[in-house]
Amino acid sequence: MNTTTKTNDSITLSIDGMSCGHCVQAVTKALSAVPGVQVRSVAVGSATIETTDASAAEKAALALEEAGYPARVTVGAPLTALKTSGGCCGGAGEASAAAKLGVRPTGGCCG
């Protein structure tokens, strides 16, 4: 009998814009919503996920980008770094708009 078992790849993401527990919760929620991704741990500045699908790592990084947390793979499958402003309590859009005006976004746990 021939059986094939596909193993999970552990991938560590470096995540910009995280500064508090709220950020950890937001990143965990964003990663948990990505099909094919199992969240192993999330801490300020990084997350470790497991997946059997290489494209899921890219989808995880894109989900973080949409949540306002630019991410790049530091260990595991190759992934292009995603660069934008963003982070806690406001996301990329609000942070970018505020930067153009020379003000800090307000609101949320860090505003």
What is residue 54's predicted lDDT score, i.e. its pLDDT?
Answer: 74
Class of domain 9-101: alpha beta
Q: What's this model's pTM, rounded to 2 decimal places?
A: 0.66
* Mean pLDDT (10-residue bins), the chain, 111 residues: 58 93 96 94 94 85 94 65 46 43 44 46
**Composition of the chain by helix, strand, coil, percent to 5:** 30, 20, 45
Taking alpha carbons only, the member of 26, 15, 11 closest to residue 69 is 15
Query: What amino acid occupies position 10?
Result: S
C-alpha gyration radius of the chain: 15
Q: Are 62 and 88 in contact (CB under 8 A)?
A: no
Q: Where are the domains of the chain?
A: 9-101
